[in-house]
Amino acid sequence: MLAALLVPVAPAAARPAAAPRHTGCAPHDELRRALRTLIDRDRITGAAVLVTEHAAGAPCGSRAETAGTADLRTGRAMNATDRLRAGSVTKTFTATVVLQLAAEHRIVLDAPVDRYLPGLIRRNGHDGRRITVRQLLQHTSGLPDYLDAPEWEHPESVRYRHFEPRELVARALDLPRPTSRWHYATTNYLLAGLIIREVTGHSPEKEVTRRVIRPLGLRDTYWPGDDTRLHGPHSHSYFTAEDGRLTDGTAWNTTFGGVGGALVSTPADLTRFVTALLDGRLLPAEQLAAMRRTVAADPDRLWPGARYGLGLIASPLRCGGQWWGHAGTVPGGHRALTAVGPGGRAVAVALNKVPDSLQAEQDFLATVETAFCAGRPSRGTEPTEGEHQ
């Protein structure tokens, strides 16, 4: 699920304040039980959920629920203010910049990739003259994911290696063409980043920082580049190594994810970003509407019922409606999710060990549902946005 998935912003000097909890808002027992299931049954090391109410008159503001351990060496408890690797949530940041450039008439969404990157996609049956920018953002390009190459079956063997986007795109072009219309591939977003560079003359990381991170005041969000460390207060992340041992995977060179998966952030910053985006503060109405036009996603690469827009996932809720946002995973063990649901409730989830079984994945999704549906009656889901043709 969601494989993975730069001038660093200076880390904040002090630990961010804990998420405020309104005195009239008791902890929600169902959400606490969901988190305990992740820790006790699924052996997730640590889990945190930040729930933020944005509806007018909402009494609770923000509240955090946590379980487990942020650092096994020290025994420090998990919390909702630590930084973590955001994985493929990065894609939503990158898609936002592409759509900003579209609004400025510097990128045409239905133009072929070859207009901006002539000759780059022209091998093994792949042809950039027949793939549009929109298809890149929507994962309908028909391009393979370089992370599906055999060498990525053991990502820990390259955890300290630097990767260039064009190197990874070239590797993807050697792979067989996907058989499904929708195929999640970080390859698409590396190409989107190369297009940003081509039309602006700046690195895509610099453009995301200038256009999104700084204007929103995301002080705990930064591009790590080749720095394998996480700066500032952060949760350690863990994965099961080939010898079966639980291993600290915090130190990792995430240039393999680039603008498709490398950002470091916090639940609060991710919430600020996704709410600003969906409130229309980052994109004009036309581009935001385009972002929210979805196609059915392959449930084997996301989950049943999920749909995908331009860098946005729409997922139905048991209590009615759907959430809009994105999730991300990195091989070292971090998983992030940020989304907004009915009534403006925003949910951000942080794990420091990736679920490694179908049951664990189902429990993770159930935790997200619980965070959105707590206090709301269950009812049939509302229709999703129409499929984009």
Give per-residue pLDDT as tens, 248-264.
Answer: 999 999 999 999 999 99
Backbone angles phi, psi at 366, to 5 degrees: -65, -35
Beta bridge partners of 294: 387
Q: Is 384 exposed, middle or buried (0-12, 13-18, 19+ CB in 10 A)?
A: buried
What's the pLDDT score for residue 54? 76
Of 255, 274, 225, 222, which Cα lies nearest the Cα of 12?
222
Place of tokens 């705990």: 220
User: Do 4 and 87 form a contact (C-beta atoms < 8 A)?
Assistant: yes
What's the pLDDT at 60? Answer: 66
Q: Residue 309 half-sphere exposure, CB side, CA atoms within 13 Å?
A: 24
- Calpha distance 214→211 (Å, rounded): 7
Scanning the structure block, which residue is given the tokens 């991710």?
Answer: 270
The pLDDT value recorded for residue 28 is: 79
Where the chain has pLDDT below 50, the residues are 1-24, 26, 381-389
Supply the pLDDT for residue 56.
57
pLDDT of residue 68: 98
Task: Tell me which residue of 168, 176, 111 sits closest to 142, measured CA to CA.
Answer: 176
Entry pTM: 0.91
Question: What pLDDT score does 378 carry?
Answer: 59
Residue of 152, 142, 151, 189 whose CA lies nearest to 169: 189
In this prediction, residue 377 carries a pLDDT of: 65
Q: How many Cα atoms are found within 13 Å in the side-chain-facing hemisphere of 368?
A: 27
Catalytic machinery residues? 88
